[in-house]
Chains A and B, each alone.
Chain A
């Protein structure tokens, strides 16, 4: 197998996408709920890799490079730990080749 054209790094992958970052986050995670969550599905299911588990069992979340797909809130096992919304109008991801 030819590994030379293997995969790009995740940062590189995301650098090709146009994100217009809003001032206000459109995702807010209640990490108190996350501490009792055993699966933490959002961490690996999020295609933009926005959720990072912390050593204390909580979740560190980002919103800047979000695809606004909705996977995280649909997959959230901890009840409603993730309050999710769309970014303000005109902000957020802009696909050119979608």
Chain B
């Protein structure tokens, strides 16, 4: 790790209600703090963090940006073995910060730096269960100025080296050596969060949860209206054939000669790029 002395491993947990109810008429989202908690991906991230912190003889801290009812989630993290927890407070009525990946990242980076110090590794789930776009870890890497590896399915730490596995298209895997410090997001795969022992659970029930205010310097961008893109309808002249049956055939495109789709399979990226360019040129796009 970057610092040999007690490297800091941070697990970011997003507090969401995976069973939120949406009113079909008003579109209002009803959430219940009792049912809310970390997503499965976040729970995986915590388990990774605990294991890596153990392997690196580091400190594992669980951090969440959420209102007060989320303390339950941090108590669970403590019970599972996190060395410390931190709650970055946001008012429960104001969803602007948790809804924006960039502002969340800014608030978290600020809180982590001032309260905990420079992290060696930040782990989080790849997507949150609710409105999260998965952009928070990328923004966070930018804020902290460190490497990022997102959407990982496996993480292993040994001898100061962090190795990761990422899913690619068509069943392929990408093996990554992640330089530290880094921000990594993990998919809910491979492992499950350990079950907390009773003594640590009892201790966590009465522990005090430190809180800092999630101050945001600039107003986050608020979308006032969002509409799907709808291209304008284009009028086409009817086919010239006199026979209605033939006109119909022309419209449906049956019996017409067509070029079959071209599938390019190559392992060489340069070759693939050439193929692609030639294709676009042939179609008159370039």
A-B contact count (CB 8 A): 9
Where chain A touches its partner, the secondary structure class is loop
Query: Scoring B residues 16 to 40 as 1 if CB is less than 8 Å from chain A, else 0, what string do you get?
Result: 0001000000000000101100000
| Highest count of chain B CB atoms <10 Å: which of A23, A88, A96 | A96
Bound Cα distance A73, B154 (Å)? 41
Set of chain A residues within 8 Å of B35, measured between Cβ atoms: 18, 94, 96
Bound Cα distance A94, B178 (Å)? 40
Question: Given contacts A94-B35, A96-B32, A96-B35, is CB(A18)–CB(B195) below 8 Å?
Answer: no
Set of chain B residues within 8 Å of A18, measured between Cβ atoms: 19, 35
| Count, chain A residues at interface, CB 8 A | 5
Set of chain A residues within 8 Å of B194, measured between Cβ atoms: none
Contact of B6 with A by CB under 8 A: no
Once the chains bind, are B195 and A88 in contact (CB under 8 Å)? yes
| Count, chain B residues at interface, CB 8 A | 6
Bound Cα distance A88, B19 (Å)? 20
Bound Cα distance A88, B196 (Å)? 12
Query: Scoring B residues 56 to 99 as 1 if CB is less than 8 Å from chain A, else 0, what string do you get?
Result: 00000000000000000000000000000000000000000000
Bound Cα distance A96, B31 (Å)? 11
Bound Cα distance A18, B32 (Å)? 12
Chain B, 108-156, CB within 8 A of any chain A CB: none
Set of chain A residues within 8 Å of B195, measured between Cβ atoms: 88
Bound Cα distance A40, B32 (Å)? 39
Contact of B175 with A by CB under 8 A: no
Contact of B173 with A by CB under 8 A: no
Contact of B247 with A by CB under 8 A: no
Once the chains bind, are B19 and A23 in contact (CB under 8 Å)? no
Bound Cα distance A88, B195 (Å)? 10
Set of chain A residues within 8 Å of B167, measured between Cβ atoms: none
A9–chain B nearest beta-carbon distance, Å? 18
B192 CB contact (under 8 Å) in A23, A94, A96: A23
Chain A, 36-74, CB within 8 A of any chain B CB: none
Bound Cα distance A94, B35 (Å)? 8
Bound Cα distance A88, B32 (Å)? 22
Residue of B nearest to A23 (CB): B192
9 interchain pairs, CB-CB under 8 A = A18-B19, A18-B35, A23-B192, A88-B195, A94-B35, A96-B19, A96-B32, A96-B34, A96-B35
Give the B-binding residues of A (Cβ under 8 A).
Answer: 18, 23, 88, 94, 96
Give the A-binding residues of B (Cβ under 8 A).
Answer: 19, 32, 34-35, 192, 195
7 new A-B contacts at CB < 8 Å, known A23-B192, A94-B35: A18-B19, A18-B35, A88-B195, A96-B19, A96-B32, A96-B34, A96-B35
Which A-B residue pairs are the 3 nearest by beta carbons?
A18-B19, A96-B32, A94-B35
